[in-house]
Structure 1
Amino acid sequence: MQSGTLIVVSKASQRMYVFKDGEPWKESPVSTGKRGHATPSGVFPILQKAVKHRSNLYANAPMPYMQRLTWDGIAIHAGHLPGYPASHGCIRVPYSFARALFAQTRASSTAVVVTSESLASHSSAGVLALNTARPEKADSRAPQLAVASESKETASPRIAYLPLLDSPAPAQSDLETVQLAASLSPDEADAHWALLVSRHPELSNVRKTVTPAVVGARRYYRLRITAPDAHAICASLKADGQACFNVG
């Protein structure tokens, strides 16, 4: 069984159920999107993580332990939970839970399932997640989940995470990966890369990849580099005003 993290969010129950390496890990109350700002349902990857983040859309509001699900503003983060849907689309969780969850997830091995159905336990959440991840006409580009075995103690299905099929193979342990941009086409990604190399010639010595990924109904192309010192390169780029973030 492959290791990883599965997060299941029930908008109807306002609960989150988390599986770690196929076993139930923790659960928590949540506050999802209020009327007019509904949290979208579906299966999402973790696109970006930041311990300290502020909203670009809503008055610079703080979003501690932010884990981005979509590029148009949907994320999991610490926030106020009044006991009902109250956010602008994000999934709020208690501060201590947000911190613990942030430490558990990895962009390459986490899937987030958001549903409108009511859930009352890890067992029902696991079954729902598997049914969500295995539609009759599955989109092979979306995060995939599979059942590995049955847990006798909890009667909950063990969930194995299978990474995005379009993602590059995991980097070797001595390599680091950084995302430079999410473009709307391969040509746009290549043009962005050419501009970066012209400004930072040292980038010509690292491995570049352009990887497709579907977020909601939109397809993006992730421009990434992999190298032993990719994180240091990203820090240097940030100092020069170029956005980037570490993904592995």
Structure 2
Amino acid sequence: MRPSPAFGRWLAPLLLAVSLVWTLACAAPASAGTAAVVARIDLSRQTMTVSVNGMPQYSWPVSTARRGYVTPTGAYRPQRMYRSYFSRKYYNSPMPYSIFFNGGYAIHGSYEVSRLGAPASHGCVRLHPSNAATLYSLVQTYGAGNTLILVTR
């Protein structure tokens, strides 16, 4: 038995729609409810709050992009981590406890602690080194797949 021509007219768009929904569902970042560690960076307040298993645990001042630079907004998972890292782009600057979340953008410790709480970076999220070590340890403990980084304005 051959399907009618009308069958093909609606089947192909339906399969395409189902495929698109499946692709988006698999590629979309998980919600905060499914992550054990959630680091929320508020660009307007220059703060990071860290929740573990849904409970707020830490609130820290950060420095994000200064004028002329951008800290990307969105939801991210850690891509790679380095306990000790030095910037290849900016004068071999130390970036202890780096958690890269979007290409070359990272959350990392900074020794310019007097600038925390105000925009000062080339786009990375700077933390006090001890706070960066705490976050790094949490991500190691719970795993990058169970960590969500939310950057908002």
**TM-score, normalization by structure 2:** 0.72
Aligned equivalents of 2:109 and 2:144: distance in 1?
A: 18
The verdict on how the C-alpha distance between 1:2 and 1:86 changes in structure 2, with shifts beyond 3 A counting, is closer
Divergent runs of 4+, >4 A: none
Name the CA shift for 1:97/1:74 in 2 (closer, same or farther; >3 Å): same
Where does structure 1 lack aligned partners over 5 or more consecutive residues? Answer: 117-248
Q: Does 1:28 align with 2:65?
A: no
Shift of residue 2, structure 1, vs aligned partner: 5.2
More helix per residue = 2
Q: 1:77 aligns with which of 108, 120, 123?
A: 108
Select which of 75, 83, 92 maps to 2:126: 92
Q: Deviations over 1:142-162 (max 9, x none)?
A: xxxxxxxxxxxxxxxxxxxxx
Instruction: Say whether 1:112 aligns with 2:149.
Output: yes
Residue 82 of structure 2 is matched in structure 1 by 50
Higher-Rg structure is 2
Count of matched residue positions in the alignment of Structure 1 and Structure 2: 115
2:126 and 2:49 map into 1 onto residues whose CA distance is 13
- 3-state SS of 2:130 partner: helix
1:105-155 Cα offsets, whole Å, 9 max, x none, are 121111111011xxxxxxxxxxxxxxxxxxxxxxxxxxxxxxxxxxxxxxx
**CA shift at 1:38, angstroms?**
1.5
1:59 — aligned with what? 91
- Aligned partners of 2:35 and 2:148 also within 8 Å: no
Deviations 1:191-246 (A, max 9, x none): xxxxxxxxxxxxxxxxxxxxxxxxxxxxxxxxxxxxxxxxxxxxxxxxxxxxxxxx
Could you list the runs of 5+ residues in structure 2 that have no partner in the other structure?
Answer: 1-32
The equivalent residue for 2:72 is 40
Q: Which has the higher contact order (CA 8 A, sep 6+)?
A: 2
Change (3 A) 1:101 1:114: same
Counterpart of 1:172?
A: none
Q: Who is 2:4 aligned against?
A: none
Aligned-pair CA distance for 1:14: 0.5
Distance in 2, matches of 1:2 and 1:37, equals 31
2:39 aligned partner: 7
Paired with 2:68 and 2:59, the residues of 1 have a C-alpha distance of 26
> Quick one: distance in 1 between partners of 2:44 and 2:78?
22
> Could you tell me how far 1:99 is from its partner in structure 2?
0.6
1:3–1:85 distance in 2 versus 1, CA, 3 Å: closer
Identity %: 35
TM-score normalized with structure 1 length: 0.45
Separation of aligned partners in 2, 1:111 and 1:101: 12
